[in-house]
Amino acid sequence: MKKKIYIAGCGGMLGEAFYTQFKDEYEIKCTDKDVNADWISFLDFRDFEAYKKDVELFNPDYLFHLGAYTDLEWCEMHEDETYLTNTLCVENAVYIANKLDIPLLYISTAGIFDGNKELYDDWDQPNPLGVYARSKYMGERFVVENAKRFLICRAGWMMGSGPSKDKKFIQKLMKQLKDGKKEIFIVNDKDGTPTYTHDFAKTVKELIQKEYWGLYNCVCGGQTGRLEVAQELMKIINIEDEIIITEVSSDYFKDVYYAERPASERLLTKKLELRGVNKMKDWRTSLKEYIDQYYDGYLS
């Protein structure tokens, strides 16, 4: 008999990868308040009673809690809603998982560090800068301190699911190219590590199958910055000679992106490597795979 997974907040870019990677080997129930695919059913996990009831009815072997507000500027402007969704709902997920005596998966972020170090391993002490980062870190701490069995995976700069659901850096660049921009402005003072949603989901699968519970940095291999990612993207789609990339500091975008961001969000996947379960490929390989799979014909 297939094991069962309940996935809450499955409507985003990460949810699509989890659905794809888990649907054949597990019986899964995917829910979200935004029903944007035929494999998603409606549930607003901010309604604790409805969340609890829906999970209990499905009676899963695992609870995956994916959803969160991730727009940093929105979070700064809506502090209470951010803590309600990103922190309190995670506490609720812990109560539900503990009551059913099942493991909980929580998605954390590289953004919980202050950026004063160049690289962060799994044991470095977080120091969140803004509302989003603090809400995610407080969720992480609650899981560590209260869940019976848990998996926390920290993602970096997320990429995945293509034009329909990707709201992050790669899609923002692809949209500018599609709109005919010949010059793009890229910050040269922000470092981090891309994270391909499918690699991330495969790594989670490996961890739960081996029952390696705990906290893991979970990003693609190789260290980089926004500028290098943009340059590599132009190479992959073979237009590096046609597009001018102009380097700017973060101040250039401060009217739009005014929430404080760490200078470095670079994570090391030390624990995954020591346990021999790292499915995260080098970011260049994953970026090419992502573009080939999701953006075929997008610019033509």
- Given a contact cutoff of 8 angstroms between Cβ atoms, the answer to whether 60 and 1 are in contact is no
10-residue mean pLDDT profile of the chain (300 residues): values are 96 96 98 96 97 98 97 96 98 98 98 96 97 98 98 96 93 94 93 95 97 98 92 93 93 89 94 96 97 92
Q: Which CATH architecture has domain 4-166+193-223+266-282?
A: 3-Layer(aba) Sandwich (3.40)
Instruction: Tell me what pLDDT residue 24 has.
Output: 97
Q: What is the pLDDT of residue 246?
A: 94
pTM, full prediction: 0.96
Buried b (16+ CB within 10 A) or exposed e, 204-229: bbbbbeeeebebbbbbbbbbbbbbbb
Q: How many CB atoms lie within 10 A of CB 44?
A: 16
The rounded distance, in Å, linking the Cα atoms of 97 and 82 is 22
pLDDT in tens, 111-160: 999 999 999 999 999 999 999 999 999 999 999 999 999 999 999 999 99
pLDDT in the model for residue 211 = 97
pLDDT at 223: 81
What residue type is 7 in one-letter code? I
Neighbours of 187 (CB within 10 A): 18
Q: What is the pLDDT of residue 240?
A: 86
